[in-house]
Chains A and B, each alone.
Chain A
């Protein structure tokens, strides 16, 4: 109970967000498609909610990939292993990168009577993070977890690093029909990302509270997420999954809200999951605002033993 109160206290405080978290893109095609964090039951919990790693039986390996706007490659790798009846350890790597960004200068060019912007060369950008997680079962229904995150980014010759922590709590009713996920990321406000040019960026604190309710073949997900907007508000999401009887397939979808600078937008994601033997393959897509793509596609795969 103390932990819950602790998380709720954090949940109600809003910090300014500055550093771009690559995980804003998502942690798996499934969690993206249900619009809620902490209900994956795979090593994705390292990225979503370390408290949800209680579902790991022996070990779990997950991979997630997406290409954004044709050029930005986003990939995550995560691994979790049960080390005792009540404890699971996990680790994850996330990378968002893009290359061939034009490096420019002003100069003269034939046909123009003023200096114009010229491309000299190209450079690349990378935004990575490394996580190490620990999960502990406090009872048959409640588990807690924590993650240590190391952030590393590079933009041309500029580099930055930072460290922070996450906390997570996961509740699962004895009947297994109801689950609650509560997590907070970057809980230590004094820890920032420091760049090689001496500037710093705040690691944005955010929290999510999600509820999962199973109704026979249909499962519903509801989540609230805190924002860094100057006007305190929460991002809502509503998702669902329908498991086809006698077939290892399920369809899922979500409507969710997202931040776009000082405004809130909404979007929808649809997807399909194949859950066979120890494999979970997820594919989902989202309508793209970027006019050169109709949709953004997400693919993730988990192996759970």
Chain B
């Protein structure tokens, strides 16, 4: 078994968020894909740890990219669904319900049948729409403030550009 010597250079750290991640890291979890498997690794220097990303240098100072898994990725358990569906748009009881595994910022995006984004709304972490557990966010004409034609719309719930959930809602007058 090859010996892997890791020197941790902590001088450039600004790792308030990444420290717990880093402390959980083991040598076995490292994947150094850019190193020739037949070439013994004499030294790998972890030169910086910043918000979960490390820059790793080989002994010849060539960079090796590593990715460290974050604590637990933001996810929606089960489905995100609109109620009622189909929905009378003028009724004020229309909602979208979903269960978040942790509190986080969430963005709702609504698309019409051309695939054009026609509405977005932000929900802050810890508030309704962005808190851990089940969230019911208002989704109706009174809340959105726009007339929508009878038809089917696609809504996405996103966090940091990633799609957490997608569903369709039928709307009528």
Contact = CB atoms under 8 A, between A and B. Distances in A.
Contact of B86 (A68, A123, A290): A123
A197 B170 CA distance: 15
B172 interface: yes
Contacts of A112: 99, 133-134
A216 interface: no
Interface size class of A (residues with CB under 8 A): 35 or more
A290 B168 contact: no
Contacts of A199: 172-173
A268 to B, nearest CB: 14
A174 interface: no
Interface residues of B, number: 42
Contacts of A72: 113, 115, 152
A106 B150 contact: no
Contacts of B117: 260, 289-290
B170 A101 contact: yes
A221 B112 CA distance: 27
Contact of A265 (B116, B133, B146): B116
Nearest to A197: B172
A278 B118 CA distance: 40
B79 interface: yes
Given A96-B113, A112-B99, A18 B147 contact: yes
A258 B116 contact: yes
B168 A98 contact: yes
Contacts of A265: 116
B115 A127 contact: no
Q: Which of B134, B149, B156, B167 lies at the interface centre, i.e. has the most chain A CB atoms within 10 A of its CB?
A: B149
B111 A292 contact: no
A153 interface: yes
Interface stretch (A50-58, A82-90, A131-139, A155-163): A155-163
B163 interface: yes
Contact of B151 (A20, A103, A258): A20
B82 interface: yes
Interface string A257-301: 010111001000000000000000000000011111100100000
Interface in B116-173: 116-119, 133-134, 136, 146-147, 149-152, 154, 156, 158, 161, 163, 166-170, 172-173
A111 to B, nearest CB: 8
B162 to A, nearest CB: 9
A201 B81 CA distance: 26
B18 to A, nearest CB: 27
Most chain B C-beta atoms within 10 Å of own C-beta, residue among A24, A69, A104, A288: A104
A106 B154 CA distance: 20
A254 B71 CA distance: 46
A248 interface: no
B139 to A, nearest CB: 11
B111 A289 contact: yes
Contacts of A106: 83
Interface in A15-71: 17-20, 22, 24-25, 68-69, 71
Contacts of B2: none
Nearest to A103: B85
A189 interface: no
B115 A68 contact: yes
Contacts of A158: 86, 150, 172
Given A114-B134, A289-B116, A104 B173 contact: no
20 contacts: A24-B114, A25-B114, A71-B168, A98-B152, A100-B168, A101-B85, A101-B168, A102-B85, A102-B167, A103-B85, A112-B134, A117-B96, A117-B97, A117-B136, A119-B81, A127-B151, A153-B150, A289-B115, A291-B163, A292-B156
Interface of A: 17-20, 22, 24-25, 68-69, 71-72, 96, 98, 100-106, 112, 114, 116-119, 123, 125, 127, 153, 155-156, 158, 160, 195, 197, 199-201, 258, 260-262, 265, 288-293, 296
Given A105-B83, A292-B156, 8 more contacts: A18-B149, A20-B150, A101-B85, A104-B84, A117-B82, A155-B151, A155-B152, A258-B114
